[in-house]
């Protein structure tokens, strides 16, 4: 827990104290409640898991399906409107801002077959996903990537890339562990 809180304080200049992070950050509560929901999901108690998940959504504004796999130190900043689908996989030290969707693209037909398919994104380690970004389908987002605010990502993203636009395109490569809130800063220029 200490590493989790420390990682948030390193990424958020508004995080003044451990107590304020624990008591006032909806993303912290959402990740904690997801761990409980995920435990029940994996144990086969799907209804209990969904009730915990929906309670989590009610109190935090963050919807995480109990089946989603989440690595360590996920920081959901602000959080309102974040949706993380059932087959999403999130690596370590990922930052997600408000109104982000990790969603599926499957049509609402033949649901029985789709229950056993990967439908949502896989997010690598040290990724930053800006507010309003939509990452859709069973795609892979490479380690260290930056997804800009309001980008719509529908294809795999190479490691260390910065993605911008609708549909998102690479505007920069070679991110080397430098944190950029919301995915980009004002100094980024289009490489194309």
Catalytic residue, candidates 65, 98, 116, 120: 98
Helix H or strand E encompassing 52? helix 46-60
For 92, other C-beta atoms within 10 Å of its C-beta total 15
Query: Is the four-CA dihedral 51, 54, 59, 62 of positive or negative sign?
Result: positive
Contact partners, residue 171, CB within 8 Å, separation at least 6: 162, 163, 164, 184, 188, 189, 190, 191, 192
- DSSP letter at 64 equals E
> How would you label 53-89 residue by residue, b for 16+ Cβ within 10 Å and e otherwise?
beebbeebbbbbbbbbebeebbbbbbbeebbbbbbbb
Q: How far apart are CA 27 and CA 78, in angstroms?
A: 7
98 annotated active-site: yes
- Considering all CA atoms of the chain, what is the largest pairwise distance in Å, rounded to the nearest integer? 50
Check: CB of residue 57 under 8 Å from CB of residue 34.
Answer: no
The residues assigned a catalytic role are 98
């Amino acid at each position: 827990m200490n590493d989790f809180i420390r990682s948030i304080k390193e990424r958020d200049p508004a995080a003044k104290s451990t107590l304020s992070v624990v008591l006032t950050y909806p993303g912290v509560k959402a990740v904690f409640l997801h761990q409980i929901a995920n435990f029940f999901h994996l144990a086969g108690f799907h209804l209990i898991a969904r009730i915990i998940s929906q309670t989590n959504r009610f109190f935090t504004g963050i919807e995480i399906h109990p089946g989603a796999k989440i690595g360590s130190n996920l920081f959901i900043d602000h959080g309102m409107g974040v949706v993380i689908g059932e087959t999403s996989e999130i690596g370590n030290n990922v930052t997600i801002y408000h109104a982000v969707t990790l969603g599926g693209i499957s049509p609402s037909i033949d649901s029985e077959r789709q229950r056993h398919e990967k439908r949502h994104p896989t997010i690598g380690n040290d990724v930053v996903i800006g507010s309003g970004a939509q990452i859709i389908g069973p795609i892979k987002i490479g380690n260290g990537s930056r997804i800009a605010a309001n980008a719509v990502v529908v294809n795999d993203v190479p490691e260390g890339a910065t993605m911008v636009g609708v549909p998102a395109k690479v505007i920069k490569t070679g991110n080397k562990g430098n944190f950029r809130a919301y995915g980009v800063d004002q100094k980024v220029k289009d490489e194309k």
